[in-house]
Amino acid sequence: MTDSLTCPFLALPLEIRGRIYGYCLTAADGMRVGWPAPPLAYGLQPQLLRVSRVIYEEAGPVLYSSNWLAFHHASDANMFARAMASSDLVQHHVKFLALSIKASETRLWMPYLTGGSGEDARTRRLTSDFPALRELSVRYRSNRWYPQVDMEQVLGHWLDDMRLFEVIDGLSSVLGRRPGPERAVDDIDLCEFMAFTNSRAPEDKTFGRLKLNALAPRIKITCAYRLSTQLFNELLEEPVALSMPAVRDGEPYRGFTRADLRGRGVLTVVDPEFGIVRTASTPFADRNGVWIALEVHCNEAA
């Protein structure tokens, strides 16, 4: 027998090996793993996959399915899926994807997000590169907010950005959850399908839910605005009268208020483009099957 087959590690139960794989191959603090990789400490140990073919086959799916993959350019996402990573692992195990889209680059992204036409539709398409997606997070960087704009007016009309609407509408048409009665597998009604799987063995239930999840990945789109420090403080610190209850995650979208931006507090984070920034964001509201949120941020040193 080879050394890999007699390795004491492989004598451990698969459940324990799985825990070890998860510890070694899941990014620290839920960080999103960017490619090309910036100089950040993800706490990953991907060299573990080089130990043996057995460990590669067991640990590879853990590495790809337990982490968020993050991309800032459509070409990077396409190249990673088609040329840099294992095609089998990407096709079957990438569940969580985060995309950062600048308003000025929307036209470069849309053919990839929605499919384009001709040969590009087969070789440069989000759904072809990552068919096993369960959640897609998009951070859209808008450039439509300026210091002289009235804050209440902007809060009421931030969704009027046509480029943002193009992203939301495009992803909804390709990946979105369709309105009306949902259909599951072989045209069985959703309720009937789940009633059937709930009467089966546990592995059948898991299979049924995986099939349903594969039909409709969750889409979350955050529209991010960069503000001056003065405007950021005005938005978050001035007293405000509650005109309607604060929004909760998943509720139908009815507009956002200052109270929604204040609900989660102010965070200080490192932005790859602007450095240290302060941010505040609303909960995610459901707009025709796509969850949308508003984020504002300003430079900490401004």
Say which residue, 98 or 158, is predicted with more confidence.
Answer: 98
Residue 63 confidence (pLDDT) above 60: yes
Average of pLDDT values for 238-263?
Answer: 81
Please state the rounded mean pLDDT for residues 10-29: 83
C-beta atoms surrounding 268 within 10 Å? 10
pLDDT given for residue 234 in this prediction: 80
Give the other-Cβ count within 10 Å of 287's Cβ. 16
pLDDT band at 26 (very low <50, low <70, confident <90, very high): confident
Residue 176 has a CB neighbour count (10 Å cut-off) of 18
Mean pLDDT of the chain: 79
Q: Is the pLDDT of residue 48 over 90?
A: no
The yes-or-no verdict on residue 207 having pLDDT over 60 is: no
Of 114 and 3, more confident = 114
Task: State what percent of residues in the chain have pLDDT above 90.
Answer: 30
Asked if residue 28 has pLDDT above 80, the reply is: no
Predicted confidence (pLDDT) at residue 3 exceeds the cutoff of 80: no
194 pLDDT higher than 60: no
Is the pLDDT confidence value at 30 over 50? yes
CA–CA distances in Å: residue 80 to residues 29, 43, 98, 122: 23, 20, 14, 16
Q: Given pLDDT bands bounded at 50, 70 and 90, which one contains residue 196?
A: low
The mean pLDDT of 45-64, rounded to a whole number, is 88
Residue 205 has pLDDT above 50, yes or no: no
User: Please, are residues 166 and 103 in contact by the beta-carbon 8 Å criterion?
Assistant: no
- pLDDT computed for residue 157 by the predictor: 79
**Mean pLDDT lowest among 51-60, 62-71, 84-93, 201-210:** 201-210
- Look at residue 70 and tell me whether its pLDDT is greater than 50: yes
| Residue 9 in this model has a pLDDT that exceeds 60 | yes
Higher-pLDDT residue of 156 and 149 is 156
